[in-house]
Amino acid sequence: MKEGFAVIGLGRFGGSICKSLVEQGMEVLAIDSSEERVNEFMSIATHAVICNSTDENALRQLGIRNFEHVIVSIGEDIQSSILTTLILKEMGVKYVTAKATNDKHAKLLDKIGADRVVHPERDMGRRIAHYIVSKNMLDYLELSDEYSLVEISVSNRRFLGKSLHELDFRNTFGVNIVGIKRDKQMIITPEATDVLQSSDVLIVIGSDDDIERLQEQIQ
């Protein structure tokens, strides 16, 4: 199962990742200390096993170091999350993504070598807040604490019928338009001569402050 995925912790977040990976045709080893949760994923994951992820010998027996990517999605037990991540990196797992429950947890995971730290609850909260505030924002992806990638629908008449060159988003708002969704068509790296239409959705990348400024003008 080299280059496969292992998901440790089959709660709401880990379970969702496991199911999504399987749907994409990936081989997935599902791991949890709860027999009930493991039984639930027996018919979903490629393999599902009961295991205490803080037991290094148990992880070795599973051949965990052969997996290309391991996702640590342990919930409230921060100590187990940190210890599991540390063991995985010391064992030589190539890439570890770890779920953090708060900022302190995230800093510790980062210090002990997690390759990527995710904040699902925080990020989803921010995403929902953006949806609530902006009628034009259709999707939101946080790239860092200061930069995001967003989808914004074009509804302001003064933007319609004008080319990207005329609107000059980069100099006017400090953002870059990296794509345009037009009906069922996706325009990647649009030309300066592309003219905006009423059905267009802009794929915008930039700082959160600049994106917020654009939103105020575009809605």
Give the end of a domain, one of 86, 119, 152: 119
Number of Cβ within 10 Å of residue 87's Cβ equals 20
Kindly state whether residue 74 falls inside one of the protein's structural domains: yes
Tens of pLDDT, residues 41-81: 999 999 999 999 999 999 999 999 999 899 999 977 899 99
- Whether residues 209 and 145 share a domain: the answer is yes
- Whether residues 15 and 75 share a domain: the answer is yes
Tens of pLDDT, residues 162-186: 999 999 999 999 999 999 998 888 9
pLDDT cut 90: percent of the chain above it: 55
The residue range of the domain holding 191 is 134-218
Give the end of a domain, one of 66, 88, 119: 119
- Whether residues 9 and 48 share a domain: the answer is yes
Threshold 0.85, pTM exceeds: no
- Whether residues 94 and 164 share a domain: the answer is no
- Whether residues 60 and 149 share a domain: the answer is no
What's the domain count of the chain?
2
- What CATH number does residue 209 fall under? 3.30.70.1450
Taking 80 as the threshold, does the pLDDT of residue 141 lie above it? no
Kindly state whether residue 214 falls inside one of the protein's structural domains: yes
- Whether residues 113 and 140 share a domain: the answer is no
Kindly state whether residue 115 falls inside one of the protein's structural domains: yes
Among residues 28, 126, 25, 125, the alpha carbon closest in space to that of 73 is found at: 28
Question: In the chain, where does DSSP find H-type helix?
Answer: 12-23, 35-41, 56-61, 78-90, 103-111, 120-133, 164-167, 169-173, 208-218
- Whether residues 208 and 173 share a domain: the answer is yes
